[in-house]
Amino acid sequence: MIIPGLVSFLYKDKMEYSFIRTFFTTLLIGLILWFPNKNRNQELNQKEGFLAVSLFWIVLGSLGSLPFVFSDEPRIPITEAFFESFSGLTTTGATNLARLNHLPRSILFYRQMLQWLGGMGIIVLAIAIFPLFGVECGVQLYKAEISGPIKENKIHPRVSKTAKTLWSIYLLLTVTCAVSLWMAGMDFFDAISHSFSIVSVGGFSTHDENIGYFKSYWINYIVTFFLIISSCNFNLHFFLLSRKSFKIYWNDLEFKAFIFFQISLIVIATVVSLFYIKDQPILKTVHQTFFQVISMSTTAGFSVDNLSNLPTFLPMLLIFSTFIGGCSGSVGGGMKVIRILLLFLQGSTELKRLVHPNAVYTIKINYNGYRILSEKNIEAIWGFFSSYILIFIVSLLLLIATGVDEFSAFSSIVSTLNNFGTALGSFSENFVNMNSIGKWILIFTMLFGRLEIFTLLILFTPTFWKK
């Protein structure tokens, strides 16, 4: 709250009191929660880790809404404030605020900062800095927070050191991105603000026209470059810096699959765009298509044009691409490339077994040092996939029950469950016109997506609450 408060003071937008009130409110709540447990010092078990992470995100998202609630101008109702806060922290990037160009700069900066903090994960940040105060958060929080199907692989033996390394890389990318945007023509405020939402693959912007506001090819290329970097496994970035070799990327099967997927999408989308769009220069069409494909498939959701202006096939293709999303261990959303890849390899293996039922097959891949995946890993991926489908169907039916048309409801659930942010149909521009019940449904799908289903879903199982 201190940094956006300083931004408010600097730009004299009269929002500093909202951040001051929020600061003292959250401080008071924190002290109330901390005081009864101040003498407790023990490692969390696995169940407590899942509960702590889920509650952490719910409480933080709720408290994060306070600057919006305390705002006098503009007046933001509670539901809209919660929606904006959770959308920011989960890096979904769906907004229910209109006329962004007229909002106070401190509020705009705060939205961007929420995405940056949520990108690498508040829990990972806590794991990194709490040991400085003599508090060890432990491996269970790390496993419940970090993305991907395989949680055991860490950069360092100590979880806190792994968290510090990840956040150091994240900070380095943010600074590099901000400087690049500033040199490309953005003003200082926009460069810093957009670096937050780009490196976090969030999608928030300080302008209604999004990235299209700047009308700069250089800015667009910088955005796509950092979206690709942030959608890759951050372990690979660490190994690049430590081993000074790019071979680490090309030896990783998930990275190669991710790049192949991006190139395939770009080729397909470009051919379709050139076939349908005849009223603008070819180079402009190619450039816009390239940007939209990278932005959507990485689940960022930035735009240089409204998706509804594209041929119908393209928005649907890009919406479905968000189911795959980024790599595990990245800040991207979706089900993650490695899971889709392993589902494909598992299907291929089953076909081979039909032909040779007595043969023994194993799935061998180069992923974070793992060569052969165990049955436990495969079962976990199938469990994730089935749980994902269940949450998707239930959320979709609930949203339709609130009165939202089927097409808009489908794209909205895809948008929030994959932490993508951009929808089609009635909500192609923003979610201002979404009914209040629908917004709460979408808030929960954002959380399910950010916590990768299991971390939150497990709290609803009777087994979890048994001793």
Binding site annotation covers 257? no
Structure tokens at 13: 């937008």
Residues forming a β-bridge with 370: 367
CA-to-CA dists, residue 166 to 299, 329, 456, 458, angstroms? 20, 10, 23, 27
Largest CA distance in the chain: 74
Binding site annotation covers 299? yes
Identity of the residue numbered 292: Q
Binding site annotation covers 91? yes
Q: CB–CB of 319/296 below 8 Å? A: yes
Identity of the residue numbered 108: L
Q: At a CB cut-off of 8 Å and minimum separation 6, what does 107 contact?
A: 4, 13, 15, 67, 68, 71
Size of the chain, expressed as the number of residues it contains: 467
Binding site annotation covers 409? no
- Alpha carbons 218 and 185: distance in angstroms, whole number: 9
Binding site annotation covers 402? no
Among residues 330, 316, 397, 49, the alpha carbon closest in space to that of 170 is found at: 330
Angle between helices 436-450 and 78-89 (to 10 degrees): 20
Q: What are phi and psi of 217, to 5 degrees?
A: -65, -40
- Bind-site residues for K(+): 91-92, 202, 299-300, 419
List, as residue ranges, the binding site. Answer: 91-92, 202, 299-300, 419
